Structure 1
Amino acid sequence: MRCPYCGNVETTVVETRESDEGDAVRRRRRCSACDKRFTTYERAELAMPAVVKKNGDRREFDREKLRASMTLALRKRNVSVDLIDAAIARIEDKVFTSGASEMSTSRIGEMVMRELKRLDKVAYVRFASVYREFEDIDAFSKLIQEI
C-alpha cells in the first residue's frame, strides 16, 4: 500500500479489525519512510445496480458520492463518522439486496432521507430542501411540520 503522505510503497499494518457493521476490514498502517500512520478499508466488491439519473443517464453506484451528500447535509452537526458509516452501509445493503439491475436516484434519495431523519433532523431538512426542490415556502413548512 502506497503511503498517502510521501508515496513510499513500504508500509506496515499496525492494527487490523472488522468494522462495526462487519462489512469491511479496517487497517491502521505505518509508513516505513516517513513514519506517519493512515487508515485503509478493505471491502468486498459487489455488483451494485446501475443508478439511473433524472435525465436517463446511467452511472455506477458511487459510495463516495453518497458519503459526500450525507456529509454535506450533516456539516457542523454532532454526528459521529461511525454513525454515518453505518447509515451508508444500510443504504448500500438495501440497494444491493433489492435484486434490481437498476435503481433511480430518487429511490436512493428517499433512502438517504430516511437515514438522515434517524440521524439528525436538521440534516434531514437540509437534504430534503435541496433534494425535493421545493417550489414554495408552504411545501417546506409542511416538511418541517411532519418532523
Structure 2
Amino acid sequence: MRCPYCGADNSQVKESRPSEEGAAIRRRRACTVCGGRFTTFERVQLRELTVAKRSGKREPFDRDKLARSIQIATRKRCVDGDVLERMISGLVRQLEAGGESEVTAAEIGDRVMEALKGIDDVAYVRFASVYRNFSEARDFEAFVTELAQNVGQGRGAAGADEPSDRGDPEAP
C-alpha cells in the first residue's frame, strides 16, 4: 500500500479488525520509510461499476466521492457516522447487486435522496439542492413546500408507511 505522506510503496500493517458490521476490514498501517501512520479499508467489490453522467461522459464509480457528497449534505447535523457508513455501504451493495456494470448518475442521486429522506430532512434538502441544481431561493421554497406536503400526507422523512405527527397537535 502506497504511503499517502511520502509515496513509498512499503507499509506495514500494525492492526487489523472488522469494520462496518463485518463488511470491511480496517487496517492501521505504518510507512517503513517516513514512519507515517494511516488507515485503509478493505471491502468486497462485486463488480466494477461505471457511472454514466448526464453529459454523456463515463467514469469509474468512486465510493469515496459518494461518501464525500453525503458527508457534505450531513455536515453539522446530528447524524451518527455509523448510520451514514451503513447507508453508504448499503447503497454501494444495491448498485453492485443490480446486475448492470453501468449505472446512471441520476440513479445514484435518486437512491441517495431516498436514503437521506429517512435519515435527516435538512441533509435531504441540502443534497437535493446540488443534485437538482437549485439556482434561486424559489427552488428551495418549492422543494421544501413539496416535502412538507408529503410529510403531512405521511410520505415524508418518516417513511411512506409511517404516519407523521409533525405539525399535528392531535396526532397520537
Aligned to 2:118: 118
1:116 Cα offset (Å): 1.4
1:6 Cα offset (Å): 4.8
1:55 Cα offset (Å): 2.1
Matches within 5 A, 1:96-135: 96-134=96-134
Q: Unaligned stretches of 5+ in structure 1?
A: none
Question: Number of matched residues?
Answer: 147
CA shift in 2, pair 1:43/1:144, >3 Å: same
Distance 2:31 2:102 in 1: 41
Work out the percentage of aligned pairs sharing the same amino acid.
47
- Is residue 19–residue 25 contact of structure 1 (8 Å, CA) maintained in 2? yes
CA shift in 2, pair 1:110/1:6, >3 Å: same
Distance 1:132 1:7 in 2: 38
Could you list the per-position Cα deviations for residues 60-97 of structure 1 after superposition, in whole angstroms to 9, with x for gaps in the alignment?
Answer: 11111111110110111222332222111111111011
Residue range with higher mean Cα deviation, 75-84 or 61-70:
75-84
- SS of the residue corresponding to residue 133 of structure 1 reads coil
- Is residue 12–residue 32 contact of structure 1 (8 Å, CA) maintained in 2? yes
Distance 1:33 1:8 in 2: 7
CA shift in 2, pair 1:145/1:44, >3 Å: same
Aligned to 1:72: 72
CA shift in 2, pair 1:33/1:109, >3 Å: same
Aligned to 2:145: 141
Could you list the per-position Cα deviations for residues 90-122 of structure 1 after superposition, in whole angstroms to 9, with x for gaps in the alignment?
Answer: 111110111023221111111111221233221
- Is residue 21–residue 89 contact of structure 1 (8 Å, CA) maintained in 2? no
Q: TM-score, normalised by structure 2?
A: 0.71
Higher helix share: 1
RMSD: 2.4
Aligned to 1:82: 82
Distance 2:62 2:11 in 1: 28
- Is residue 125–residue 144 contact of structure 1 (8 Å, CA) maintained in 2? no
1:23 correspondence with 2:23 = yes
1:145 Cα offset (Å): 3.6
1:7 Cα offset (Å): 4.9
Aligned to 2:61: 61
- SS of the residue corresponding to residue 13 of structure 1 reads strand
Q: TM-score, normalised by structure 1?
A: 0.81
CA shift in 2, pair 1:2/1:106, >3 Å: closer
